[in-house]
A and B are shown apart, each in its own frame.
Chain A
Amino acid sequence: AQRVTQPEKLLSVFKGAPVELKCNYSYSGSPELFWYVQYSRQRLQLLLRHISRESIKGFTADLNKGETSFHLKKPFAQEEDSAMYYCALDGDDKIIFGKGTRLHILP
């Protein structure tokens, strides 16, 4: 079965502290994974994709096929990082989204 799991519904982190948003997937093929973000009053948008291997707004995500994970990380949280984050998998026939994690950056 194709599945994306984000185990944390809410994650609160102090400003300046490291952030790690967890994502695990289940997929039999070669996965393509994405992180999407939704800031307050803005539309849901792509943050990064694993094939780009880029850092966006200080965030990175490494695909770990052994652990079937694609965790999103940032070394030092900023207040503007507060948002809803979704992990997504390009499945066999459609995109599979996780349930999302709300990241709350504490001052």
Chain B
Amino acid sequence: GAGVSQSPSNKVTEKGKDVELRCDPISGHTALYWYRQSLGQGLEFLIYFQGNSAPDKSGLPSDRFSAERTGGSVSTLTIQRTQQEDSAVYLCASTRAGTGGLAFFGQGTRLTVV
């Protein structure tokens, strides 16, 4: 596709429910990142996938958060038993091999837990 695509754009969920957020990276991009932006805050790193390597999960805030990347392309971020503090914008970014820090971001998913 033309850019990184995330769905849904907005998600309102009840506290305690599970949610899945999807990211379609740019075709051919080998690396994929998930970040969180809470209201008025900066980027918070969550997880990083690079090719076939084991993902870097060091940023996941709790075991309620998990992510997978199927076939080296689409990624899904899952939040189980959502809490109000999970409300934020979740951003996905991808990079092409050899381009280092040149990342392309999606438009984000705004998650609201009520």
Contact = CB atoms under 8 A, between A and B. Distances in A.
B42 A95 contact: no
A51 to B, nearest CB: 9
Interface in B66-98: 91, 93, 95
A90 B100 contact: yes
B103 interface: yes
A94 B56 contact: yes
Interface string B37-59: 00001110100101000001000
A94 B48 contact: yes
Nearest to B4: A43
Interface residues of A, number: 23
B85 to A, nearest CB: 18
Interface string A32-55: 111010000001111001000000
Contact of A32 (B33, B45, B101, B105): B101
A90 B45 CA distance: 14
B1 to A, nearest CB: 14
A34 B42 contact: no
A95 B101 contact: yes
B100 A32 contact: yes
Contact of B101 (A34, A45, A98): A34
A97 B45 contact: yes
Given A94-B33, A94-B50, A95-B33, A44 B105 contact: yes
A99 B56 CA distance: 19
B106 interface: yes
Contacts of A88: 101, 103
Contacts of A89: 101
10 contacts: A32-B101, A33-B101, A46-B103, A93-B50, A94-B56, A95-B95, A95-B100, A100-B41, A100-B42, A100-B43
Interface of A: 6, 9, 32-34, 36, 43-46, 49, 84, 86, 88-90, 93-95, 97-100
